[in-house]
């Protein structure tokens, strides 16, 4: 068996709404976005800051449904500013094909569409 790491979930160009230094850690994401992207609370995610180039890993924490919240907590809050654009991605180690759930959001972090790997 040969395992490969492939993308399973992605939230593309979300806007950071808050950055809380005084928290143990994580990224708080609107529950609607978590579900649409197929993420799981507690799941490890990569966060890529499109605005400043910073990259870090953390875990998902569910936020209020419909709030549009994207809040980077703890030490990682030093790597973002409110208004920054970020990509949030999760991967899976597998030997089976994966159909990734990748979503695009608008300026208020509302679902705006689905992204696909192939045109």
- The residues annotated as belonging to the active site are 26, 59
Residues 6+ apart with CB under 8 A from 21: 73, 74, 75, 77, 78
User: Cα(36)–Cα(66) distance, rounded to whole angstroms?
Assistant: 12
C-alpha to C-alpha distances, 76 to 22, 54, 70, nearest whole angstrom = 11, 10, 13
């Amino acid at each position: 068996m040969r395992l490969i790491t492939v993308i399973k979930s992605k939230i593309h160009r979300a806007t950071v709404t808050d950055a809380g230094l005084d928290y143990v850690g994580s990224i708080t994401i609107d529950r609607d976005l978590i579900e649409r992207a197929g993420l799981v609370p507690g799941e490890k995610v990569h966060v890529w800051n499109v605005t400043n180039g910073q990259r870090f890993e953390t875990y998902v924490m569910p936020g209020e449904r419909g709030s549009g919240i994207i809040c980077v907590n703890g030490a990682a809050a030093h790597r973002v500013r409110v208004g920054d654009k970020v990509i949030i991605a999760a991967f899976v180690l597998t030997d089976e094909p994966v159909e990734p759930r990748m979503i695009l959001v608008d300026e208020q972090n509302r679902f705006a569409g689905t992204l696909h790997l192939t045109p």
